[in-house]
Amino acid sequence: MKILIARMNHETNTFSPVETPLAAFGRYGPSYARAAFEENKGMQTAMAAFIDAAERAHAEIVTPISAMANPSGPVDAAAYDAICDAIVTAATGCDAALLDLHGAMVAENSTDGEGDLLARVRALLPHAPIAVALDLHGNVTQKMIDNADVIVSFKTYPHVDMYETGAHAARLLFDMIEGRAQPMIAWRQPPLLTHTLRSASADGAMKRALDAARAAEADGMLAVSVLAGFSLADIPAPCISVVVVSNGERAAAEAVAERIARQIWDERDDFVYRSAPLAESVARAASLARGADKPVLLLDHGDNCMSGGTCDTMDLLEEALKQGLEGIVSGPLCDPQAVAALAAANVGSTVTLAIGNKLTNDALPARSPLAMSGVVRALTDGEYVISGPTYTGQRAYMGRAAVLDTGTVKLVVTERTHEPWDLGVFESVGIDPRRARFLLLKSRMYCRPVFMPIAAALVECDSRGVTSSDYALFSFEHVKRPVYPLDPHTEWATTN
């Protein structure tokens, strides 16, 4: 048995000015063939679980590509074609396919990156089983449903069940191959744009929806997924979805999908996040720091790397300085020009330079960089190994990294946008984040399992970046209306 196994992951923020060429996928581009296999084997990805399952089945494994890029703007047409072509070319002659996809990819030449890829694979393999693992923030489309036999998504955010999701999808694929299951898919998609900060799996309406999904699986469904969607994509339906896989019982799958979707719709307001003004958030952080013996976290979710943020907006740092906060550790801030200037000055030099606020587009109006003076404390290659729990053991690449110390702020500046996955973001450049009074991180969720244990408190801060929770900042031209909460009186009375 010959099995196609591949990875194509990108969450596209169509409002982001951060470009997504082929080189953005991986360190300098995707991994191919044996390198793609080795990049995932032993890791905590869905593709790693696919490989393990295929090896247990003594299958011939074909791994044409592993391509994962941080969220950013639409994928370059040439990059999208290159990744898809590698997968489709390798599909010829395969008996089954296991695909590790995100579910929210938009390319310059495709508003439905995963659906268009799956349609091409299905055309080549009309009778072969196809199983897909998706991110919890995938935007499900009819084309995805029509061209996959099995769809399973993560049930955690922050995502710590990527491997488990891949193992689940692979198990159903092999059950299908060996005649133990006849997967049938049903789905529902209420007209609801969720906020990412309301898709955390540990509490609220999202937890209740995921609990209902798990209960339905315990009651006989092969897989039940709740996908919060990724709403910062100007496509027809960047909305929440429920996808149910039953064992030959379409009516049962439809009933479960309808029931959970109705539960979500009835609680729709709990999927909406309403931000406090930035000045108010910073003032609250200052209050929480009084008497604390640990840092206070200020999470700049309006410029969040893992939602397509530029990682160069200075709103939060400027407000913190305006309010007199001291003992600040901040970063990673993406500014390749600043890194070059700091590298040219060398460690120990005192420099004055303009930092941040350099990437703009229609959704992110021009603002002046912040003039900062300080001492260059460190210059590194920006590489470290993630300790977990997300992407445990993988090597992280920030591009070259530098530290500017103003006396009030230790600022980590990098060449690439980078999520603070790990204490290694700071420790790799000689900073102990535990000794900070305030930690300013450009993050929503992924930093929390690592940084919350060392923090006294956490404050969510909404800067005016391209990942802001204020949808009024964005011009949605292609989203099908009405949709909640853009249209408060939206009704949903029909099934898919």
What's the whole-model pTM score? 0.93
Say yes or no to pLDDT of 496 above 80: no
The one-letter amino acid at 109: N
Q: Please report how many Cα atoms fall inside a 13 Å half-sphere around the Cα of residue 90, on the Cβ side.
A: 26
126 preceded by a cis bond (ω within 30 of 0): no
What does DSSP assign to residue 307?
G
304-321 pLDDT, tens digit per residue, is: 989 999 999 999 999 999
Predicted confidence at residue 392, as pLDDT, reads: 81
Q: Report the half-sphere exposure of 486 (CA within 13 A, side-chain side).
A: 23
Q: So what's the pLDDT on residue 391? A: 76
* The predicted structure's pLDDT at residue 377: 98
Q: Cα separation of 385 and 388, whole Å?
A: 9
Q: Is the dihedral of CA 450, 469, 24, 362 positive or negative?
A: negative
85-115 burial code (b ≥16 CB/10 A, e <16): ebbbebbeebebbbbbbbbbbbbeebbbbbb
pLDDT tens for each residue of 220-258: 999 999 999 999 999 999 999 999 999 999 999 999 999
Q: Which residues contact 251 (CB under 8 A, 6 or more apart)?
A: none
Band of pLDDT at residue 425, cut at 50, 70 and 90:
very high
Look at residue 365 in the predicted model and tell me its pLDDT: 75
pLDDT higher than 80, residue 363: no
Q: What is the pLDDT of residue 446?
A: 87
Are the C-beta atoms of 382 and 398 separated by less than 8 Å? yes
What pLDDT, in 10s, does the model give residues 127-146? 999 999 999 999 999 999 99
Compute the average pLDDT of residues 350-368: 88
Q: Both tokens of residue 466? A: 């391209």
Beta strands in 52-169 (DSSP E): 60-62, 65-68, 96-101, 130-134, 150-153
CB 303 within 8 Å of CB 442? yes
- pLDDT 10s digits, 329-343: 999 999 999 999 999
Q: What span, in angstroms and rounded, lies between the C-alpha atoms of 164 and 181? A: 19
- Angle (CA) 18-71-117 rounded to 5° is 110
Count Cα neighbours of 470 within 13 Å in the Cβ-side half-sphere.
15
Short-list 25, 58, 462, 44, CA closest to 274: 462
Mean pLDDT of the chain: 96
CA distance 139 to 196: 13
Euclidean distance between CA atoms 49 and 164, whole angstroms = 7
Mean of pLDDT values over 348-363: 91
Give percent of the chain above pLDDT 70: 99
pLDDT of amino acid 27: 83
Cα distances from 350 to residues 167, 314, 381, 450, in angstroms, run: 52, 21, 21, 32
Residues 183, 244: Cα–Cα separation, whole Å:
10
Residue 494's pLDDT band (boundaries 50, 70, 90)?
A: low
Residue closest to 349 by CA, chosen among 402, 282, 427: 402
pLDDT average, residue stretch 259-278: 97
What confidence tens digit (pLDDT) does each residue in 35-71 have?
A: 999 999 999 999 999 999 999 999 999 999 999 999 9
Digit-coded pLDDT (tens) for 381-415: 999 999 877 778 888 899 999 999 999 999 999 99
Q: What is the pLDDT of residue 495?
A: 57
E strand map for 283-437: 296-300, 328-334, 350-355, 370-380, 383-385, 395-397, 401-405, 409-414
* The pLDDT of residue 389: 79
Q: Which two tokens stand for residue 254?
A: 């439809």
436: nearest Cα among 314, 322, 324, 293: 293
Q: What type of residue sits at position 494?
A: T
Q: Average pLDDT, stretch 113-124?
A: 98
> Residues 227-252, buried b or exposed e (16+ Cβ, 10 A)?
bbbbbbbbbebbbbbbbbbbbebeeb
Q: What is the pLDDT of residue 483?
A: 98
Local confidence band at 203 (pLDDT 50, 70, 90 cut-offs): very high
